Amino acid sequence: MRRFGADEHRTVVLSMKLAYIILAHDDADNLFRLIQRLLTDDDGVVGHWDKKNPLDLTVAAAARLDERQRQRVRFARRVAVEWGGWSMVAATLAALEELENSVETFDYVILLSGADYPIKPLATLKAFLGAGAGREYIECVDPEREAWVVDGLVQERYQHYHWFNWRKHPKLFSFAVSIQKRLGIKRRLPERLQPRFGSQWWALTWPTAQQILQRSRRRAIRAFFKTTWVPDELFFPTLAAALTPPERIVSSSLTFYHFSQQGRPLVLYNDHFEFLCQQEQFFARKLSPQASALRDRLDGLIAIPQAPPYRPAKQLHSYEMFIAVQWRGLPGRRIIGRQQDAWYGDLEWNKRPYFVIVCDQHTRLEPLRESLNALEGILCYGELFRGNRIDYALPGFEHPFYPNDKPALRDMKRPNFVADLVHSQPQQVIGFVLRLPCGHEMEKIVVFDPQATLIFILPETTYYPATGSGLDWQNAFANMVLLDNLSEVRRTGKRCLYLSAHQHLIPAESIVQATATISSLKIGFTC
């Protein structure tokens, strides 16, 4: 790739016109910040705002953008987006349709998310695209020859029918896959298309994007891809490869991203600035919503002219050091890399305190929970690990990825569920009820988790409900389980609070003692 002289560089930059598509579902403040950063020239932005979010983004735009910026922003027809389904592709196509309706001509269309941000000057990006002579920047990996999927289904993504969303119907999803494997079902793509995998984030020339939009309107194409799994990583790479000569495709994204072996994304925080400066891509994802200082430093960086880079490639030579440092306790991080102890799951990286009320099956907890939830900055959920449902018992504070009637999602990795819930309310200390015996090992996990504050509520050892045979063996066993776990806590030297209940009722003075203990918890979380 050749370099430009100063005058030629300036000519290319001024003549290059870009359109950005931004897919966003929340965090409107950072979305508008991204839009303002992208609209430094006469480029265009089409935003797609998830239909599930009640915020009227067009009204918000009138207050957040100036007159020139409002003229360069359009909003696509809204789609309710669900991860892993056709709706992600539908949202992107709706944005392409909005661009087509604008009757403007662009050189490139670049797909971003609301959590992305530029890490290079936009003038450098335009010079790079101009020097590429109309190349398409989209990952197009042949699954028959290369490994692109980190873990899970590969050929089954398109060879099988996928009618059920894994997050909403995990059991039905797995059942449908297993049945089709037994039946030997292997679909072929329509119109002799060859499957290609790649990142959802791409930069395509406007003519190619238009051809993909036109091709997407064919009934056979839509019908096939609507029943594939994670079609946003299949649809655009497959059609781009079919419509473009191989020599014009650079199988790489202009956006830096990274996933762990468990499929967890690398989240970028305020202290990742130097790391991003080493990357040759032009955008990065995904930035933490709280990483304002990182965005501020990137604003200063992208104002500095730079020579066009030669090839977009991840620079991860120092990444092992990042992993090692984060493993040793930087707070609030979802770590990239191997999991040292699979039993703890994501709780291993958690540095936010939470509390657990451990009791038997009969203790009445309503007065205690009401007192805790009356405290500022405290949320005490109900019996999250009830067998056939997730009993949040806090309307309006349910985790969106774990519906209360989908316990299978919770039970795939219970520690991960706890970690997700603990981090779902950044300004709150989270707690929940764990009744014993529970039939799984969650009591062992919280006993040994240093971030868990335990409140044991023990029945009076002399009290057992009357039965015809005298001693109630079931309640005696439950008491034994409680006392065994309390002994384990004491053996480890972990601090905890234990209270007594009389005939399943918690005395008022014990409730006061519990609220004082939970009030003392502090969140030590750094973005």
Q: What is the CATH number of the domain that holds 397?
A: 3.40.50
Q: Which of 518, 484, 469, 478 is nearest to 501 (CA)?
A: 478
Cα–Cα distance between 459 and 500 in angstroms, integer? 6
Q: Are residues 306 and 351 in the same domain?
A: no
Q: Are residues 309 and 372 in the same domain?
A: no
* Full pLDDT tens readout for the chain, 527 residues: 344 444 544 555 557 899 999 999 988 999 999 999 999 888 999 999 999 999 899 899 998 999 999 999 999 999 999 988 999 999 999 999 999 998 888 999 999 999 999 999 999 999 999 988 899 999 999 998 887 776 678 899 999 999 998 878 888 999 999 999 999 999 999 999 999 999 899 999 999 999 999 999 999 999 999 999 999 999 999 999 999 999 999 988 899 887 755 566 777 888 788 888 888 899 998 888 888 889 999 998 876 665 555 455 566 555 555 544 444 444 444 444 334 445 567 787 788 899 999 888 888 999 999 999 999 899 999 999 887 889 999 988 988 888 888 888 888 788 888 988 998 887 889 999 998 877 677 888 888 888 889 998 888 754 455 555 555 555 666 667 777 777 777 776 777 888 888 888 999 999 999 999 998 885 444 33
Cα–Cα distance between 413 and 442 in angstroms, integer? 11
Residue 120, domain member (yes or no): yes
Cα–Cα distance between 40 and 18 in angstroms, integer? 11
Cα–Cα distance between 47 and 32 in angstroms, integer? 10
Number of domains in the chain: 2
What single DSSP character describes residue 217? T
Q: Are residues 103 and 248 in the same domain?
A: yes
Q: Are residues 126 and 46 in the same domain?
A: yes
Please say whether the beta carbons of 380 and 432 come within 8 A.
yes
Please give the pLDDT value at position 330: 45
Please say whether the beta carbons of 378 and 431 come within 8 A.
yes
Range of the domain at 498: 345-519
Distances (CA, A) of 504 to 360, 361, 371, 431: 9, 9, 17, 21
Residue 121, domain member (yes or no): yes
Q: Are residues 128 and 250 in the same domain?
A: yes
Q: What is the pTM of this model?
A: 0.67
In angstroms, the first-to-last Cα distance of the chain is: 39
Cα–Cα distance between 506 and 512 in angstroms, integer? 10
Residue 512, domain member (yes or no): yes
What single DSSP character describes residue 388? T
> What does the longest C-alpha to C-alpha distance in the chain come to?
98
Residue 373, domain member (yes or no): yes
If one counts every other C-beta atom within 10 angstroms of the C-beta of residue 519, the result is: 14
Cα–Cα distance between 258 and 313 in angstroms, integer? 12
Phi-psi sector, 449: left (phi>0), alpha (psi -120 to 50), beta: beta
Please say whether the beta carbons of 86 and 58 come within 8 A.
no
Q: Are residues 60 and 196 in the same domain?
A: yes
Distances (CA, A) of 164 to 190, 224, 229, 230, 404: 21, 15, 9, 12, 18
Q: Are residues 369 and 460 in the same domain?
A: yes
Q: Are residues 292 and 384 in the same domain?
A: no
Q: Which two tokens mark 207? A: 């003519």
Please give the pLDDT value at position 339: 41
Reduced to 3 states (helix: H, G, I; strand: E, B; else coil), residue 417 is helix
Q: Which two tokens mark 195? A: 């499957």
Q: Are residues 282 and 353 in the same domain?
A: no
Please say whether the beta carbons of 391 and 384 come within 8 A.
yes
Please say whether the beta carbons of 115 and 27 come within 8 A.
yes
Residue 24, domain member (yes or no): yes
Cα–Cα distance between 475 and 483 in angstroms, integer? 12
By DSSP bridging, strand 108-113 and strand 203-205 are antiparallel
Cα–Cα distance between 215 and 218 in angstroms, integer? 6
Please give the pLDDT value at position 316: 57
Q: Which two tokens mark 420? A: 């997700």
Residue 146 backbone dihedrals phi, psi, to 5 degrees = -130, 150
Phi-psi sector, 303: left (phi>0), alpha (psi -120 to 50), beta: alpha
Q: Are residues 436 and 295 in the same domain?
A: no
Q: Which of 152, 197, 206, 168 is nearest to 43 (CA)?
A: 206
Q: Are residues 282 and 394 in the same domain?
A: no
What single DSSP character describes residue 308? P
What single DSSP character describes residue 346? G
Residue 217 backbone dihedrals phi, psi, to 5 degrees = -80, -5
Q: Which two tokens mark 526? A: 């750094």
Decide: residue 463, CB within 10 A, 0-12 exposed, 13-18 middle, 19+ buried.
Answer: middle
Q: Which of 42, 36, 49 is nearest to 19 (CA)?
A: 42
Q: Which of 476, 475, 515 is nearest to 497 (CA)?
A: 515
Amino acid identity at 480: M
Residue 66 backbone dihedrals phi, psi, to 5 degrees = -80, 180
Q: Which two tokens mark 55? A: 């915020």
Residue 237, domain member (yes or no): yes
By 3-state DSSP, what share of the chain in percent is helix, strand and coil, each rounded to 5? Answer: 40, 15, 45
Residue 288, domain member (yes or no): yes
Residue 386, domain member (yes or no): yes
Distances (CA, A) of 124 to 88, 309, 479: 29, 8, 68
CATH number of the domain that 294 lies in? 3.90.550
Q: Are residues 274 and 375 in the same domain?
A: no
